[in-house]
Chain A
Amino acid sequence: MGNPFSIAMSIQQPPDNGAGHFKSPAVSSDPVTSNTNTNTKDGAQPKKEPPPEKPSDIRRRSYIILSFWLIVVLLGLPIWWKTTTIYRADLPLQEMLDWSDGKACRPVFPLRISIQANALQEQEAQNLLRLTQHALDDLNDFSGHHLRLQLAPPSAPEQHDRESVLTIRLVPGDATTAKFDPHEPILDITYPSNAIPSPTSSSSPLATYVASQLRSTFAEEQATISYLLSTNSIPSDHRPQGLSSDISDSLSKRTTRSLKYAPTYHLTFSLFTSGPLPSSWDIDGAIGEYMKPVLDVLSPIHNFTIDTQVQLYATPGVQNQVLNKEDLSSFINAAEWPLSPSIGGAPTVNFIVFVGDQTIAAPAQSAGEDGEPGPSSHSWMMPQWGTVYLLPLPNDTSHLSAEALKQPLLTFTSHLLSLTGTPQSGSLPLRLSTLSRIRSADLLLRASSTLGSLARLALALPSISIPPRVADGVSKTMHHLRLACETLGGPEGLAHARIAEAEAERAFFEKSMVGQLYFPDEHKIAVYLPLLGPVAVPLVMGLLNELKTWLKRRKEAGKVGREKKKE
C-alpha cells in the first residue's frame, strides 16, 4: 500500500524541502538525504531495501489469491446461498395458468339422448332421428353443450338406460303431445300417425317439435353452464354468445345463493323463541312427512344429516315489530344464538323457526309476484346459509305439532332446493341430473381458477416458500382435472372434479407457505453480515494490493522496455 505512495511523495519532495527548509526544523535533516536517497522519507540512516522478490514467489502469491477468490465465489457463496434460500418446489406454472385460462380443457358436455320408437320401422326411425338431429344442430349455438340423439335398439326394455341423459318414447297417438315421466328421465311424445316423415322429405313437423322440446328442456342448463364459463376467465371464443343480461342476472343471483358443493350437507332445524314457550316440537314427524321425500330424491347427489334443537329466551338481533329488508340480515343474533357450524367436513344449512309475531314489510318485488302478503312474507332465505321462518303463535302454546310445522317445512324444502343450486324448471329427475352436470362444471372451473391463483401467487411473491406438499397437491389436482375433463357430464366426472377441487384448495391454503413470507432477504444479509464483512475485508484488500502491484509491474516492465528501445 505504501509503496507507490511513497514514490509519489519522494518525487514531490525535493522542491518542497528546499523551500520549507527554514520554516520547518522538524524536517531539517531531509535535505541532506533527499538528494542522495530518493526512496526514504525520514530517518537518518539510509533505508535498507528488502531483497528483490523472486518471480516465482510473486506468481505463487497471485495463485493463492486467485484460488481463495475462486473458492469463495464458486463454492462458498453458492453453498451459503443454497443453504439459506427458501425452498420453492417446482410448479408447472405455465400449465397451471393454462388451466385457469381455460386453454387446457374445453368443457364439453356430450349429452346422449336415446329415442325409443318401437312402433316405427327401423328406416323411418333413422330418418326421423336424422331430421331431428339436424333441427337440433340448427337451433344450438353453444358448442360446449351438445345433444346427440341415438336410436335405442327396439329390443331394449321400455325404460330409461343409464348411459343416456334422457329417453324419448315415441308412441303413436291422436295429437302431438309431450309429457315428462315424474320418476324417470323419460319424455313421452305422442304423435299422430301422419306425422311420420317420408324418407325423402327434408323437414318434418314432428322432428322440429321434438327438437324444440329438447331445446326448451335443456335451455336452463345451457344458460347456467354458459354463465359459469363466462364468469370464469375462459377465452371468449369458447364462450357462447347471446346471454341476455336479465338471464345472467338471475343466474348470478342463483349461483351466489347456492352453497358450495359438498357430498354431504348438514341440516340444522332450530326452534327459537323469545320467551320460555313453546319448549318442544314434533320436528321429527314433520321432517319425515314433509321433507323426507325431497331428501330421498336428492340422495344420489347429496347425503343429508339432520339435527334439531330448541332454544328458549332467544332475543333476535332486531327487535322491530315490522322487519324491513335491511333488518333481515341482522335478525340472526350470531353472538348469542348457538348456531355454530357442525364439526366435520359437511357444510351446515340452518333452518330456523322463530316464534314471534314480527312481520316482514312486504318488499316491492314480492308484492308484485303474488299481489298479497302470502306465505312468502313469513320467511326469507339467507344466501349460502339457510332460512328463517317467523311463526306467530298464541302465547300459551307449549308444544308445536307437526301440522303447525307444515308450512315452515314446505318453505324450507323449496329453499333447500335452491340452496343446493337445483335448476327451477323441468321434471325432478332431469333437474337432478342437470344439477350434477352443473356442479361438475362449477367444480372444474373453481379448481382451475384456484390453480391459476396459486401460480400467480408463486410468480408474484418470489420470497414465498413452496413446500413439496403444494407441488404434490398441484400435480394431483391436474391429474384429476384431466380425468374430469375427459369424463365431464358423467358421475366419474363429478367425482374427479370434487377431488381436484379439494386438492387445489388444500394446496392453496397450505399453512407453511405463509410463515416464511415475512423473512425477506434483507434479514438474511443482516444476520450473516458479521461473518461476511470481516472475511470480505482481507480478501478484497488482498485482491486490490495484488492488482496494484501487477499494474506497477506492468508499468515498470513497459518503462524498462522503452528504455531498452531508446538505448
Chain B
Amino acid sequence: MRQFLSFIWLSLLSFLVIPSSASSAVDYHEQLNLRPLPLSALLASFNFRSNTTLSEFEKGNFRFFPRSLGQILQHAGTRELHLRFSLGRWDSETWGARPWDGAREGGTGVELWAWLETETDEEADRKWLTLTNALSGLFCASLNFIDGTRTTRPVMSFQPEGDHSTDNNMHLLYGVLPHEVVCTENLTPFLKLLPCKGKAGIATLLDGHKLFDASWQSMAIDIRPICPESGECVLQIEQTIDMVLDIDRSKRPRGNPIPRSPPGDQLPCDTSKPYNSHDTCFPVDHTPQEWTLSQIFGKTVKGTCPLADPAIPPVCLQVPHSRSVYVSKDVYEKKNSDDASRCFHISPDTELEMMLPRPDDGASSTTTTDLATPETPLLYAERSFTGHGQERGGVQTILRNPSPDTEVEFIYMESLPWFMRIFLHTMETRIAGQPHANKSLVQQVYYRPALDRARGTQLEVRMRVPPASTVFLTYDFEKSILRYTEYPPDANRGFDVAAAVITILDPPPKDGRFAAYTLRTTSLLCSLPTPDFSMPYNVIIFTSTAIALAFGGLFNIVVRRFVAADEAQATGLGVVLARLKSRLVSAVKG
C-alpha cells in the first residue's frame, strides 16, 4: 500500500515538476490541486510559477516576473529568497504528510530566509536589513522587525534549492517573526505579483475571507535561479498557497455563520453503536458530504489565465476514480493513470464549477474508498513547555517515528529569543519507555549562544530516531528580565517563540523535487516575569517621599532649638483650638 501511495505521489509530483524544468519556452504555469482530507477537510494547493531569463532580469525587463520584487532582489544582492506567511497548525495525525514535503510552508507568522551574495558578513547584514525593510513595505508585514536578535545564520538546516555557481560568496540568513498575524493585507500584494492579478484563472478563487478562515494556511514565495544543462539560466518565482478548509464551516452561509445542529430526524447516526435504535442516536461528527467549488470558495474559477501553459490542466482533484464528479460544460476531464487523481482542462472563457457529490450510501461507512488515504509522514513532532514559575522553564519536544523499519535522521533547529537563556548541559534525549537518557541519539550539535539584546540563541542538533519509537528531547532555560521599555504593549500575553524547524536528511528516495522533508512544530508562548507598568511612577513617588522625610527630619534637628518639655511653648492643635475658642467667645460677647 505504501509503495502504491508513494507511486501516486511520485507520479503527481513528476507531473507537476517535469514540464517546468524541461522547457522554459512557456514562462508561466499555474495549477490548483484539490485533495479531500479525512474529517471533511479539503486541502487546496495553489501553485503559480513564472520564469525570466537572468539576462533579462539584470537588464530590468520584467514581463511575468514582478518588477517590484525584482528591484528589491537586485538592490539587496539576493540570489535566492524564501518567504512564508502561515497561520494555524497542520494536523499531521489526521491529515498525514505535508503538501510539497513541507518545503512550501513556514511556522506560524512570517518566516524569511535568503542567500545573499556579498563579500563580508557585515555587508550581508546590511543588505539583509535593506531586504527586510523593502519586503516589509511590499507585503505590508512587519518584516522590518527582523533585526539582529531575530536573525540567525543556519549552518546545517537549509540548503539552496536553486543552482548557484560554487565560487559565489553566499550568505544564508534566516529571520522569523512568530508574532506576526497574517491577514488580508498580505494576500493583496501577493496577488498583485501574479501576471493575471487574480482576475483570471485559478487565482480568482483566492479571497481573503476564505483564506484566513482556513484551519491551516501557508503562503509561500520562492525565488531561485535555475540553470538547465542546456540553455540560459532562468530566475524562477514560485508562489504557493496551501490551505486546509473545513467543508462544514465553509458551507455555512456568510449571513448566518453560527453553527446549528440539524433537526433530530436529519441527524446522521453512527449505526455501528450497539445502542443505536430509532430513538437513540450517536451523531457522527463528520459525514462525507457533497460540496461545490462555489460553496467552498464563494466563487467559481473564471476562465484561464491566457499566459499560462495550455498543456497543463489548471485544476486537479485527487479522489479515486470510482467517485463521480460533476463539472460545468466545456470542461474536459482527464483521469490520470494512477487511479487517484483527475485533472480538468478549461477553455479560456468558461467558468469552472465543480461538484463532488456524497459518496454512495453503501460506501459511506468506510472512508478508504471515497478518499485517497493520506500518506503517513516520516516523523511526528510536538513541542511544549515544561516547568513552572517565572524564573525557569523547560522545553520538551516529542519526536515519533512511525516507520516500523526505517531510522529517521534529521536536523532539529531552534532559533530562540535572547531572553530565553538555555542551559545546553541540560539538553538530553530519551527514548520513551527507557528510564535513562540515551546519548547516542544526538550526533552533532551546533550551538551559538545568545547575546543579550544583540542576537538570539541558535541551536541545531543532528539526531536520529530509531524505528517505531518516540524520543523526548528536553532542555531547560532561564527567563531573563527585560527592561521597562522592551516590553510590548500586550506584555501579559506572553512572548512568541518561533517554531522549531526539522529537516529530515536523505528521505526515502521518491525522486521528487525536494531534497529534504521539512516539518515545523507549533510556535510557543513564553510568559516572562512582567512588572507592574505603573512601577516607575511609584518608584519616583516612593523615593521622593523617603528623601523628603529624611531631609525634613535632618533639617529640623539642625535648625530647631531643644528645650525641656515643660519649657516648650504650646504648639500644634492645642494652640489652634484655643485661638478658635477665644475668637468664638469674643464673637459671642461682641
Contact = CB atoms under 8 A, between A and B. Distances in A.
Interface of A: 1-3, 5-6, 9, 13, 16, 19-20, 23-24, 41-42, 47-50, 53, 57, 61, 64-65, 68, 268, 276-277, 279-280, 283-284, 305-314, 336, 338, 340, 342-344, 527-528, 530-531, 533-535, 537-539, 542
A-B pairs, top 3 by smallest CB distance, nearest first, are A534-B548, A307-B60, A531-B544
Nearest to B70: A307
B67 interface: yes
Given A53-B561, A305-B60, A538 B67 contact: no
Given A2-B575, A527-B540, A535 B63 contact: no
A557 to B, nearest CB: 19
Nearest to A277: B306
Contact of A338 (B68, B306, B582): B68
22 contacts: A2-B571, A13-B582, A20-B589, A24-B585, A47-B566, A50-B561, A268-B67, A284-B59, A284-B61, A307-B62, A308-B60, A309-B66, A312-B196, A336-B197, A338-B66, A340-B138, A343-B71, A528-B540, A531-B548, A535-B548, A538-B551, A542-B555
A16 B582 contact: yes
Contacts of A2: 569-571, 575
A277 B307 CA distance: 9
Nearest to A53: B561
Contacts, number: 138
Interface in B192-212: 192, 195-197, 199-200
Interface string B69-80: 011100100000
Interface of B: 59-63, 66-68, 70-72, 75, 130, 134, 137-138, 192, 195-197, 199-200, 305-307, 537, 540-541, 543-545, 547-549, 551-552, 555-556, 558-559, 561, 563-564, 566-571, 575, 578-579, 582, 585-586, 588-589
Contacts of B569: 2-3, 6
B561 A57 contact: yes
A61 B562 CA distance: 12
B578 A41 contact: yes
B2 to A, nearest CB: 44
Contact of B549 (A314, A343, A534, A542): A534
Contacts of B541: 530
B197 A307 contact: no
A48 B578 contact: no
B567 A50 contact: yes
B564 A309 contact: no
B67 to A, nearest CB: 4
Contacts of B61: 283-284, 307-308
Contacts of B567: 48-50
B191 to A, nearest CB: 10
B149 to A, nearest CB: 21
A528 B556 CA distance: 22
B559 A64 contact: yes
Nearest to B56: A284
A306 B60 CA distance: 7
Nearest to B60: A307
Contact of A41 (B556, B570, B585): B570
A542 B59 CA distance: 83
Given A5-B579, A530-B540, A530-B544, A336 B60 contact: no
A440 B315 CA distance: 61
B306 A342 contact: no
Nearest to B192: A338
A9 B62 contact: no
Contacts of B306: 276-277, 279
B582 A307 contact: no
Nearest to B304: A276
Contact of B130 (A283, A311, A343): A343
Contacts of A310: 62-63
Contacts of A65: 559
Residue with the highest number of chain A CB atoms closer than 10 Å, among B306, B540, B548: B548
Contact of A531 (B60, B72, B547, B582): B547
Nearest to B554: A538
A308 B551 contact: no
Given A530-B544, A537-B552, A542-B556, 14 more contacts: A20-B585, A49-B567, A50-B568, A57-B561, A277-B306, A306-B60, A307-B62, A313-B200, A338-B66, A343-B71, A343-B75, A343-B134, A530-B540, A534-B551
A19 to B, nearest CB: 6
B387 to A, nearest CB: 40
A370 B256 CA distance: 63
Contacts of A24: 585
A307 B71 contact: yes
A378 to B, nearest CB: 24
B199 A50 contact: no
Nearest to A267: B60
Contacts of A1: 571
Nearest to B569: A2
Nearest to A310: B63
